[in-house]
Amino acid sequence: MSVLAQDPDTFLTDAQQYHRELLAHCYRMTGSLHDAEDLVQETYLRAWKAFDRFEGKSSVRTWLHRIATNTCLTALEGKQRRPLPTGLGAPSSDPVGELVQRTEVAWLEPLPDESDPSHIVGSRESVRLAFVAALQHLSPRQRAVLVLRDVLQWKAAEVAEAIGTSTAAVNSLLQRARAQLAAVGPSEDSTLTAPDTPAARGLLTRYIAAFEEYDIDRLVTMFTEEAIWEMPPFVGWYQGGPAIGALIHHNCPAEKPGDMRLLPLTANGQPAAAMYMWDKDSGRHLPFQLHVLDIVDVAVTHVVAFLDPALFAKFGLPDSL
């Protein structure tokens, strides 16, 4: 049956096959898992309402991405970018100093990985945390052009039609976006180790064991000299294994082995772990942090520890252990 011969409800049922890539697209645009989920639903609602005007000149996938892009651009009007602490421009913090929390900031959020490994490999580079954080430095229209051209591989004329501008304007936006991304984005010489490799799995296992055994000295040896640790909504960031170790010693609520339990997972196409902290009142381990790791070779170069228990449900994680 052709698309045009279907009724809108049947069409939308078929269009659900693109849900995951639309979620990733909206996540790249917004830096927020919560916003991306809402925007995908809005995309499907707009598609359902506009179904009778779909002429079949493009594929359904392209048409949905076009709607999603404009939905995101509308949603981003007047909104501030979503940063990580390292993106605020301040120098590294004192690991034994007071932690400063800013809950009013809309921070960058992590993205759960697709359960199908074949999909993960194809989209891993474009959802990595450092790349999405770098996208946040671009204007929404620059972001849209760069993602459509460089991630989805659309032609300039297709992008121009999608966002209602000229091909020349698209090329200009793309040039500026690429230059800005090169200035703030991840360096090309730091190729991250994929989470499904033996090296990454082995290091993540040791990382989890060090936390659970409260062996911070052993944990420190897993970081490179220039490794960075940050944990939104706290604004500070910390560099180097010794500083990271000092931060954990002085500010982590854990007191002994067993206070922390971690579950391995993947997020943003990277190794990750969900940390649960012992709670005396409930007698259980409760959601505490969600760690997303950059691993290069056999060392940790960056950890973003998200202190947002609401993310645990989004990752399909239990509400306690």
**Maximum separation of any 2 CA atoms in the chain, in Å:** 66
Topology match between the domains 3-184 and 198-314: no
The encoded tokens of residue 178 equal 């690429």
Closest CA to 132 of 100, 123, 169: 123
Question: Where do runs of H (alpha helix) occur along 111-240?
Answer: 117-127, 129-135, 140-146, 156-163, 167-184, 198-212, 216-220
- Edge to edge, the sheet with strand 223-230 lists 237-239, 223-230, 299-306, 284-296, 270-279, 260-267
Residue 233, preceding peptide bond in cis (omega within 30° of 0): yes
Q: How far is CA 310 from CA 34, 168, 182, 287, 289, in A?
A: 10, 43, 33, 9, 10
CATH class of 3-184: mainly alpha
Instruction: Kindly compute the dihedral angle of the four CA atoms of residues 52, 56, 61, 67, in this order, to the nearest 10 degrees.
Output: -50
d(CA 313, CA 86): 26
Percent of the chain with pLDDT over 70: 92
Chain segment 57-81, per-residue pLDDT in tens: 678 889 999 999 999 999 999 899 9
Q: What CA–CA distance (Å, rounded) separates 277 from 262?
A: 9
Domain residue extents for the chain: 3-184, 198-314
Q: How crowded is the C-beta side of 224, counted as CA atoms within 13 Å?
A: 15
Model pLDDT for residues 163-186, shown as the tens digit of each residue: 999 999 999 999 999 999 988 877
Domain spanning 198-314: CATH 2.40.33.10: no
Residue 197: pLDDT over 90: yes
Tokens 């993106």 found at: 87
CB 20 within 8 A of CB 40: no
For residue 2, pLDDT over 70 is answered with no
Residue pLDDT, tens place only, 87-121: 998 999 999 999 999 999 999 999 998 744 444 44
pTM (two decimals) = 0.91
